[in-house]
Structure 1
Amino acid sequence: MQYYDLCIVGGGSIGGIIAYYSFRGGITSIPVYYRSIESIEAIMKNGGLTIKYGDKEYLLPIIPVHHSKPIGKCRFVINTVKAYHVKDTINLMHKITDEDSLILMLQNGFGSLELVEEKMLNRYVAGGVVFIGAERINRYYILHHGGRTIIAGRRKGFTAKLLELMNILNRGGCDFRVTSNIDLYRWIKLGVNAVINPLTAITRSKNKIVLTQYGRILAEKIIDELIIAAEKYGFKLDKKKLLTTIFRGAKNTSENYSSMAQDIMNNKPTEIDYINGFIAKHVGEKSVNEVITLIVHLIEESYMKNH
């Protein structure tokens, strides 16, 4: 049985950027699991995954693998698939890990980490939030737009394995941090996603749309409800600080299309139910987040009916 130091489940924009940090951090054999055979073929033809980071292009000699044919065990598994695909990756993660492996879940919103914690009780499972702007231009080319921070932690006890992973990714240029209170950061990131993702998706705009007059007004209304939802879980969020974080993030990744905007423009389903939909469940009907969730679903439905 082949053993790998690090594997990535999901070769989208964030998965590709993490492969870049991992390779620069000294991991030379990186299996990246894909759902699409076409993606694997395109990467093999290209000779690897091309990452544009800053003004330079890097060709990463990753090992593209189809999810149905796992090739070995992994010490670290970083799962970057969309929240609605997480359930489909659980069987794969069982196959490519053992009881000493660490799984890091990097999905937007709430629900994915909880599901994997429940289904993989005999594994080290951690959650993380990503403050990185990136865009998958095609099947083998990923463009980094800004940001390099990942904050990670376990909800069920600390493990030094996270520090090992931190050392690898930090060597590669990532600002990887370990926290003892990952749920607090998940709420903060939920605020960032709940504003930037749907506003850019609905308008099909870059992140800088959030910094406009009406973007700021909507951001405040969304965050007012997020704070109410967070309080039900025992978290008291500072509205002013949270909005500052959101607007700073939008400015730092101003030329980036959010993951949800990319989904809409590529006629793919979004993670809206895990983000604004999650907030709406705790605030009630007729909330701003409920309306935003319905609008995004309307856009998704319009594509499905026309194709």
Structure 2
Amino acid sequence: MNITIVGPGAIGSLWASYLHDAGHKISLWSRHKDDTLTIQRDSYPALSLANNDTQALKSADVILVTLKAPLVSSVLHQIKPHIDVDAIIILMHNGMGTAESVMTLMPENPLVLATTTHGAYRPSATQVLHTGQGQTLLGAVNDKALQCSFLAEVFHHALSDVAWHANIRQALWNKLAVNCAINPLTAIHQVRNGELARSEFRAQLDAIIDEVCHVMEAEEIAVDKAKLTVLIDQVIHSTSNNFSSMEQDIAHQRSSEIDFITGYLLQCASNHGIDVPTNQALYKAIKQIEQSW
């Protein structure tokens, strides 16, 4: 397939490499001006991929969007004239809240949401490290995307494990819960994920999870607090040496995805009249750090 990856950061570069090795024709779309970009995964030979090639974008069967959530709408608006109306759009990023604007912007295109637990890290502009095996879930947002379940096999062949999820909102809310628990705390305290296993964070994590569960129930998303707690603890342990994306954003004084993670939770809580003081305090703390720059 012809696949364009928009926003080749760590996760985008990881998928670019694996999809290329699986035999697909891969091009990139990025903020860089170069006609080609180099990606080297782990110790494998480096790839040279076309960048910002409008012809490749026009012929793309799949547009895999791995931008940070705040950039999704503006970048897709810029490149929309070059995207075929039959091209499948896949959004793969932390947080929630971009699908609505993308459906409005590109109502004719099949829209798929994706969530992945694979770990990726870019030590340099050209290298990406696959730091942890995980699972990727894909699911339809609009009616046209219901015909796109074949993508699970395509992506699974490149980088397993991939499955099609009939209720992708459920999977995304589970991922949102993990991000609400881990990202703001690691960013505020500037620590690796594993540090959250220390006893001093237990009460705060429990309060975050309790509030998230109340909102999920109001959103009619099936949730079991005990199982969600186990999931979050497992992620903390399995990614113990990793820095969260929000920690890295704050460390490098970049705008974070807080509005699409904790901010999305706060918006849903407000819609249902639910008080979420712990998450509200974390959101405020991140915003104050960002505004201090």
TM-score by length of 1: 0.86
SS of 1:152's partner is strand
Which residue among 172, 175, 199 is the counterpart of 2:161? 175
SS of 1:62's partner is strand
Which residue number corresponds to residue 104 of structure 1? Answer: 90
Moved more, 203-212 or 151-160: 151-160
Preserved contact between residue 80 and residue 107 of structure 1 (Cα < 8 Å): yes
| 1:35 and 2:31 correspond | yes
- Equivalent-residue separation in structure 1 for 2:189 and 2:84 (angstroms): 44
| 1:12 and 2:9 correspond | yes
Which residue number corresponds to residue 124 of structure 1? Answer: 110
- Equivalent-residue separation in structure 1 for 2:243 and 2:162 (angstroms): 23
Query: How far apart are residue 106 of structure 1 and its match?
Result: 1.1
Preserved contact between residue 24 and residue 171 of structure 1 (Cα < 8 Å): no
SS of 2:180's partner is helix
Which residue among 60, 65, 68 is the counterpart of 2:47? 60
| 1:228 and 2:214 correspond | yes
Moved more, 202-211 or 284-293: 284-293
Which residue number corresponds to residue 149 of structure 2? Answer: 162
- Equivalent-residue separation in structure 2 for 1:172 and 1:87 (angstroms): 27
Query: How far apart are residue 96 of structure 1 and its match?
Result: 3.9
Preserved contact between residue 135 and residue 257 of structure 1 (Cα < 8 Å): no
Consecutive aligned runs of 4 or more in structure 1 exceeding 6 Å deviation: none
Moved more, 201-210 or 277-286: 277-286
- Equivalent-residue separation in structure 2 for 1:162 and 1:69 (angstroms): 26
Preserved contact between residue 19 and residue 158 of structure 2 (Cα < 8 Å): yes
Preserved contact between residue 50 and residue 60 of structure 1 (Cα < 8 Å): yes
Moved more, 73-82 or 57-66: 57-66
The letter for the 2-side match of 1:294 is K
The letter for the 2-side match of 1:73 is S
The letter for the 2-side match of 1:228 is H
| 1:290 and 2:290 correspond | no
Query: How far apart are residue 275 of structure 1 and its match?
Result: 1.0
Preserved contact between residue 208 and residue 279 of structure 2 (Cα < 8 Å): yes
Which residue among 177, 182, 192 is the counterpart of 1:191? 177
- Equivalent-residue separation in structure 2 for 1:123 and 1:17 (angstroms): 25
SS of 1:292's partner is helix
- Equivalent-residue separation in structure 2 for 1:162 and 1:61 (angstroms): 30
Which residue among 224, 242, 246 is the counterpart of 1:260? 246
Query: How far apart are residue 289 of structure 1 and its match?
Result: 0.6
Query: How far apart are residue 17 of structure 1 and its match?
Result: 1.1
Which residue number corresponds to residue 100 of structure 2? Answer: 114
Equivalent pairs: percent with the same residue?
A: 27
Aligned residue pair count: 288
Query: How far apart are residue 167 of structure 1 and its match?
Result: 2.3
Query: How far apart are residue 137 of structure 1 and its match?
Result: 1.9
TM-score by length of 2: 0.90
Which residue number corresponds to residue 91 of structure 1? Answer: 77
| 1:299 and 2:286 correspond | no
* Distance change (3 Å), C-alpha of 1:172 and 1:69: closer
Query: How far apart are residue 156 of structure 1 and its match?
Result: 2.4
- Equivalent-residue separation in structure 2 for 1:25 and 1:159 (angstroms): 24
Give the gaps of 5 or more residues in structure 1. Answer: none
- Structure with greater proportional strand content: 1
Moved more, 265-274 or 69-78: 69-78
Preserved contact between residue 69 and residue 260 of structure 2 (Cα < 8 Å): yes
* Distance change (3 Å), C-alpha of 1:160 and 1:203: same
- Equivalent-residue separation in structure 1 for 2:264 and 2:84 (angstroms): 32
Preserved contact between residue 115 and residue 175 of structure 2 (Cα < 8 Å): yes
- Equivalent-residue separation in structure 1 for 2:32 and 2:217 (angstroms): 41
SS of 2:220's partner is coil
Query: How far apart are residue 295 of structure 1 and its match?
Result: 0.7
The letter for the 2-side match of 1:301 is Q
Which residue number corresponds to residue 247 of structure 1? Answer: 233
Preserved contact between residue 199 and residue 209 of structure 1 (Cα < 8 Å): no
Query: How far apart are residue 75 of structure 1 and its match?
Result: 0.3
Preserved contact between residue 50 and residue 142 of structure 1 (Cα < 8 Å): yes
- Equivalent-residue separation in structure 1 for 2:215 and 2:50 (angstroms): 42
* Distance change (3 Å), C-alpha of 1:25 and 1:148: farther
Preserved contact between residue 49 and residue 59 of structure 1 (Cα < 8 Å): yes
